[in-house]
Amino acid sequence: MKKLIYTIIVLLFFSTSLKAQDPHFSQFFASPLTLNPAFTGLFSGDYRIAGNYRSQWNSIGAPFTTGTVSADFGILKNVINPNDIWGVGAIAMYDRQGEAGAYTTNYFALSTAYHKSLDPEGNHTLAIGLQGAYVIKRLDVSKLTFSDQLNNPGSAPTEAITKPTLHYFDPNIGILYNGLIGEASNIYAGFSYYHITQPYESHYNNLTEENRIHKRITGHAGGSFPVNGNNRIFASALYMKQGTATEKTIGAAYGFLLNGMPDDPTMFYVGSWVRFGDAINPYVGLEIKGFQVGISYDTNISSLKPASNARGGMEISVIYIHRRDDNNKYKTLCPKF
């Protein structure tokens, strides 16, 4: 029964994949370059390396898996205004769907963003970011079961897949405001637009307007606020729309400062985010010596709950920020969640 349910899910996903959401992370705040290219370079340190891994629907069959690795850093620090930031970065992502990775997506993207100071102290910045991605999608028909094969196992599929591999260029853009409120609170808000040119994506030869990728529009905001001395609350929200698919997420984490050193913190985080109509995502994390590791688990609350037994996906994020001892700029200003 589970195999049949899984097969149906794969078929539905494949048949509607061009109208569905892009691969995404519950820990959207830990994958800045897939959320908004305007995040490029906005962190406290010399360079940032981030990795994310997500595995979904293990309870039904072969999981859908998504992973990224990214790196970004500031350039021309001695040339531009000392309160400005010019960031450049790169990200690679893979996404596997279906039994043994029947449908795979790989892309590599380059990003740049310029964060312009809006005040003499550099406490408020406005950024615009650009990103260009090269996308490769592959479909292995031998690993898929189509509807006409369900009643005739072992038969060849009648689907005529003429282009099992796709290649295209995909540009994205974003803007971001980031600011320091008072002496210790931070807020940010941004907007991103992915698939600007809406490239064609079809494994058949007959290209029509129906084969264009839907644009993905994302609005997001968040902030951090001190509580009980040096502890902090980190809150964030996300709205994303792509075609007929809409995602609304909101949540927060409480950060416990364990070492009493706000400038070089060891912090333990616990919190939860809610993706409305889909999942509850409890989160725990630890920050120490420049590393921040986060683990979350999707508890499914959607209509698929009976098939998934409320189990959605495990997600892990790792961010490392290299800092020199004399690099104290933006320690409070930069968003973490």
Classified as helix, coil or strand, 265 is coil
Predicted confidence (pLDDT) per residue in 168-227, tens digit: 999 999 999 999 998 889 999 999 999 999 998 887 777 777 889 999 999 999 999 999
Instruction: Supply the CATH number for residue 304's domain.
Output: 2.40.160.40
| Residue 324 CA: distances (Å) to CA of 46, 71, 154, 289, 321 | 7, 17, 61, 12, 10
| pLDDT top residue among 275 and 332 | 275
In terms of residue numbers, what domain contains 156? 41-322
Residue 33 lies in a domain: no
Q: Identify whether 331 is part of a domain.
A: no
Is the CB of residue 222 less than 8 Å from the CB of residue 29? Answer: yes
Q: Is residue 332 part of a domain?
A: no
Number of neighbours of residue 261 by Cβ within 10 angstroms: 10
Q: Flag whether 61 is in a domain.
A: yes
Query: Can you tell me the distance from the alpha carbon of 235 to that of 231, in angstroms, rounded to the nearest whole number?
Result: 13
User: Residue 266 falls within a domain, yes or no?
Assistant: yes
One-letter identity of residue 159 = E
What does pTM read for this prediction?
Answer: 0.86
> Does pLDDT of 128 surpass 90?
yes
202 falls within a domain: yes
Structure token pair of residue 281: 């995502």
260 residue type, one letter:
G
pLDDT in tens, 306-328: 444 555 689 999 999 998 755 45
Domain assignment present for residue 34? The answer is no
| Domain count for the chain | 1
